[in-house]
């Protein structure tokens, strides 16, 4: 059994894999981290673990866990199942390394565009030769709501909501239209651009907003909320 930990910018996800199958999956807080990890180690008698962090987790918390189990901390020197052509490999987010590893293992010899709609929306492209070329980073849905509120005097902080239509008839409707229609147009139009350049393109959508977005986007997309966790499990297996 493998223990898989994904420390995102907003939330920590912890999972247990039996070979390629997820048998436990939950979202935890920073405070719960050590207790929950230890508990899962024992309950499932995990032998190996991997941790990817782009967020806040204290070094001491990681060291504590490291003393209990063989823990791989994903970084830019970890062994990965693709060729990294990013111009600044040292600054590439480890979450993106995990997503691309997932694509390399689940869709070998395919052009794959991975869209992770989380705190940020990231686009990552790996070609059929297994070369990772990069992609794009833009603000996530929640971040867009927060920034409109934070950087203006008059705009309220709203929860994500499907807009009634294109033309917002009130302050709230205008915000929902601007953000949600904006994100959907951004994603659909990026997909179109990638499709024009790559005839045979596999598209994967993941991240905290996957459910909100998947039926609002144009067709032909694999929605998989566990794509990043699966990538971490792939890297762990690859490094043992
Ligand atoms: N219960 C929730 N708490 C926070 N965000 C949520 C929740 N449910 C859905 N979301 C959405 O998920 C997004 C955050 O995604 P996710 O949980 O993947 O972020 P994360 O843990 O920071 O991971 P990453 O850093 O990889 O994006 C937010 O934009 C928000 O709209
Ligand atoms: C882009 C985020 C914030 C998405 O979680 C993360 O992957 C990150 O911190 N990346 C570092 C910059 C880069 O990937 O080039
Ligand atoms: K993300």
Out of 46, 73, 100, pick the residue that ends a domain. Answer: 73
For residue 124, being part of any structural domain is answered with yes
CB contact set of 11 (below 8 Å; sequence gap of 6+) = 27, 208
Out of 40, 73, 106, pick the residue that ends a domain. Answer: 73
139 lines ligand 2 (CB under 6 A): no
Are 16 and 125 within one domain?
no
From 4, 96, 118, the mutation candidate for ligand 1 (largest count of ligand atoms within 8 A of CB) is 118
Q: Whose CA is nearest to atom 8 of ligand 2?
A: 93
Token reading at 82? 């693709």
Atom of ligand 1 nearest to the CA of 141: 29
For residue 237, being part of any structural domain is answered with no
Q: Domain limits at 172?
A: 83-232
DSSP H helices, the chain, are 33-43, 59-66, 94-106, 141-150, 171-176, 182-197, 210-214, 227-239
Q: Give the number of the ligand closest to the Cα of residue 119.
A: 1
Q: Report the alpha-carbon angle 44-50-56, nearest 5.
A: 110
CATH number at residue 175: 3.30.420.40
For residue 198, being part of any structural domain is answered with yes
Q: Flag whether 185 is marked binding.
A: no
For residue 239, being part of any structural domain is answered with no
Beta bridge pairs of residue 17: 2, 22
pLDDT in tens, 20-55: 999 999 999 999 999 999 999 999 999 999 999 999
For residue 78, being part of any structural domain is answered with no
Q: pTM for this one? A: 0.97
Out of 29, 44, 73, pick the residue that ends a domain. Answer: 73
Token reading at 190? 């990026």
Q: What is the ipTM of this complex?
A: 0.94
The active-site residue, picked from 95, 124, 200, 209, is: 95
Q: Per the structure, how many domains does the chain have? A: 2
> Given pLDDT bands bounded at 50, 70 and 90, which one contains residue 219?
confident
For residue 238, being part of any structural domain is answered with no
């Amino acid at each position: 059994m493998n223990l898989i930990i994904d420390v995102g910018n907003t939330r920590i996800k912890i999972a247990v894999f039996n070979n390629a199958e997820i048998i436990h999956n939950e979202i935890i807080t920073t405070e719960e981290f050590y207790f929950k990890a230890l508990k899962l180690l024992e309950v499932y008698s995990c032998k190996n673990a991997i941790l990817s962090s782009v967020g806040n987790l204290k070094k001491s918390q990681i060291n504590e866990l490291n003393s209990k189990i063989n823990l791989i901390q994903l970084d830019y020197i970890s062994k990965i199942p693709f060729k990294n052509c990013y111009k600044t490999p040292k600054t590439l987010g480890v979450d993106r390394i995990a997503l691309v590893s997932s694509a390399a293992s689940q869709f070998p010899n395919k052009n794959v565009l991975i869209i992770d709609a989380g705190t940020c929306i990231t686009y990552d492209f790996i070609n059929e030769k297994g070369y990772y070329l990069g992609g794009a980073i833009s603000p996530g849905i929640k971040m867009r709501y927060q920034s409109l509120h934070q950087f203006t005097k008059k705009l309220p902080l709203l929860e994500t909501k499907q807009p009634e239509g294109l033309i917002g008839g009130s302050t709230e409707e205008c915000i929902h239209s601007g953000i949600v229609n904006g994100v959907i147009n951004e994603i659909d139009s990026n997909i179109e651009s990638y499709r024009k350049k790559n005839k045979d393109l596999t598209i994967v959508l993941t991240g905290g907003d996957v459910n909100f977005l998947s039926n609002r986007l144009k067709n032909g997309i694999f929605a998989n909320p566990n794509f990043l966790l699966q990538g971490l499990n792939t890297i762990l297996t690859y490094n043992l």
